[in-house]
């Protein structure tokens, strides 16, 4: 920049952070015969430095501080069903800022193809996403589990709405699951208890013969009737609510 100062008689005003970029040597022969605007555009190309001429001063600023930012937003849906996809990834795979020449003598340098893989977001519960990025060309990659990723390249010069649909990438064959209706069912009667002959024969009795009713009274939920009566009470029911059958024939007095 010393050559520019001596050639055009201007002074540079810039932040100390830009000092390292300005200390780099340049090929002075490549800008001989050019105007101040053309020389600055040539020398600062690719540095990301923006310049502006104010009288005898050239004000230098970092391009990222002056570049406008715009928002790209939209919905990510399933191409087959049209259903919005929750948690779909939206990443900036490539971010490029272009060279914009203005009649005021202000030029934005080109940053080149800058990787921006760490920038991104995901869709919310409604399948909606929103990203605010610097002005320029940007390539967005949309991805979702079970769907093919899709890349979209857009030029951010204003806020835009970009809806994207993803196609399913993996299909599996259908599976049929069958089961028997009687699997795990021991009886169609709820709460049924079987009393085998062995249980009756092994039940201890005092001064009497083996009795079916006495054995039933030992079952859970069964209580004996009053002394001298043979009725039983099952789970709080009355004595007249029990049905006694012998070979399919009703018994009204089981004593």
CATH number listed for the domain at residues 2-65: 3.55.50.30
For the stretch 159-203, pLDDT in tens is: 999 999 999 887 777 888 887 776 666 666 666 777 888 888 888
Task: Tell me the pTM.
Answer: 0.41
Identify any residues that bridge with 114 across adjacent strands, giving them in sequence order.
95
**Residue 30: φ, ψ to 5°:** -75, -15
What is the predicted pLDDT for the residue at 186?
A: 64
Q: What does the alpha-carbon distance between residue 20 and residue 156 come to, in Å, rounded to a whole number?
A: 30
What is the predicted pLDDT for the residue at 227?
A: 64
Cα–Cα nearest to 167, from 77, 76, 79: 79
Looking at every residue in the chain, the average pLDDT score rounds to 77
Q: How far apart are the first and last CA of the chain?
A: 123
Lowest mean pLDDT among 71-75, 91-95, 98-102, 139-143: 98-102
| 110: pLDDT strictly greater than 50 | no
Cβ atoms of residues 82 and 172 within 8 Å:
no
For the stretch 190-237, pLDDT in tens is: 667 778 888 888 888 776 677 777 788 888 888 877 665 667 888 878
User: H/E element holding 232?
Assistant: strand 232-234
Q: What is the DSSP string of 51-96?
A: EEEETTEEEEEEHHHHS-EEEEEEEEEETTT-PBPTT-EEEEEEEE
What is the predicted pLDDT for the residue at 210?
A: 76
**Residue 64: φ, ψ to 5°:** -65, -25
Residue 103 neighbours by CB under 8 Å, 6+ apart: none
Domain residue extents for the chain? 2-65, 67-166, 197-250
Cβ atoms of residues 80 and 166 within 8 Å:
no
Q: Which CATH number fits domain 67-166: 3.30.360.10, 2.60.40.10, 3.40.50.720, 3.40.30.10?
A: 2.60.40.10
């Amino acid at each position: 920049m010393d050559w520019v100062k001596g050639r055009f008689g201007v002074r540079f005003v810039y932040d100390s952070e830009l000092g390292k970029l300005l200390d780099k040597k340049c090929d002075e022969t490549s800008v001989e015969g050019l105007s101040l605007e053309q020389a600055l555009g040539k020398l600062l190309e690719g540095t990301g430095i923006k310049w502006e001429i104010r009288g005898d001063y050239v004000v230098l600023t970092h391009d990222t501080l002056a570049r406008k930012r715009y928002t790209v937003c939209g919905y990510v849906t399933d191409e087959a069903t049209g259903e919005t996809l929750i948690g779909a990834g939206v990443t900036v795979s490539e971010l490029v800022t272009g060279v914009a020449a203005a009649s005021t003598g202000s030029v934005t340098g080109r940053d080149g193809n800058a990787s921006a893989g760490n920038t991104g977001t995901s869709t919310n519960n409604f399948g909606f996403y929103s990203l605010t990025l610097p002005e320029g060309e940007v390539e967005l990659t949309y991805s979702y589990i079970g769907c093919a990723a899709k890349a979209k390249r857009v030029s951010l010069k204003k806020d835009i709405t970009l809806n994207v649909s993803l196609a399913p990438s993996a299909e599996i064959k259908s599976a049929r699951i069958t089961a028997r209706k009687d699997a795990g069912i021991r009886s169609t009667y709820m709460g049924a208890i079987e009393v085998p002959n062995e249980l009756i024969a092994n039940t201890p009795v005092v001064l009497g013969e083996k009795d079916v009713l006495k054995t039933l009274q030992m079952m859970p939920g069964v209580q004996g009737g009053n002394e001298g009566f043979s009725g039983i009470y099952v789970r709080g029911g009355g004595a007249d609510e029990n049905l006694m059958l012998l070979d399919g024939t009703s018994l009204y007095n089981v004593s």
